[in-house]
Amino acid sequence: LYLVRDGQRSGQARGKCSGGGTRQQRQDDHHQQAEAGQRHHAEHCPTVGFNVERLEMKNLRMTCFDMSGQGRYRNMWEHYYRDCDAIIFVIDSSDKLRFVVAKDELEQLLAHDAIRTRGIPFLFYANKMDHKDALSPVKCTQMLGLKDCLSNKSWNIVPSNAISGEGLQAGIDWLAEEVRRLPPRK
């Protein structure tokens, strides 16, 4: 889960990332590689505790606070909701048993006043699409009930592979456009 704050709109970028399972360590030339169509170098490991990453893509500056998705860390998430301009929710599309937990976490997130009352966009990455048992983005949408629970918000689901980088740029491109459409912060 990434809570994204656009540095262009607010003067300071803030956000939160958590619980997706795979954390990416990109090289400094990430953006140039993406433009050149080169494969990205990435290390992957489960997030334990708390990590901070600063990213700039498509003129969207963000700071991500990457918090573990393990149950004992989830209570930290809500401390960052009020400052976010967008949410990136990473789904392990190959782990059907975790969909119940993911749906419950999404419902709790959407019920929080700081999220429920605002029209911030949601980007879902249906991750691990390279696994043979991965569910399609359409099936992920159905299992999470996205059409019903996000009927009043802008949202998109993008198939992805965090290891190879496949789908990541398409998601960020969509999200950057959605964040630009938001009204100015008060």
69 labelled as ligand-binding?
A: yes
Please tell me whether 130 is known to bind a ligand: yes
Q: What Cα–Cα distance (Å) separates residue 138 from each residue in 59, 132, 160, 163?
A: 30, 16, 13, 22
Whole-number Å distance between alpha carbons of 17 and 172: 14
Tokens of 119: 């029209």
Q: Which candidate in 12, 25, 27, 70 is catalytic?
A: 70
Closest among 149, 77, 112, 62 to 124, alpha carbons compared = 149
The answer to whether the beta carbons of residues 165 and 42 sit under 8 Å apart is yes
Residue 129 is labelled as binding a ligand: yes
CA distance 180 to 168: 18
Told to judge if 24 belongs to the known catalytic residues of this protein, a careful annotator would answer no
Note whether 15 and 80 are within 8 A (CB). Answer: yes
Q: Is 47 assigned to a binding site? A: yes
Task: Measure Cα distances from 73 to 2, 4, 23, 82, 98 in Å.
Answer: 14, 18, 16, 18, 17
Residues labelled as active-site residues = 70
Q: Which residues are known binding-site members? A: 47, 69, 127-130
Q: Which residues are known binding-site members for GTP? A: 69, 127-130
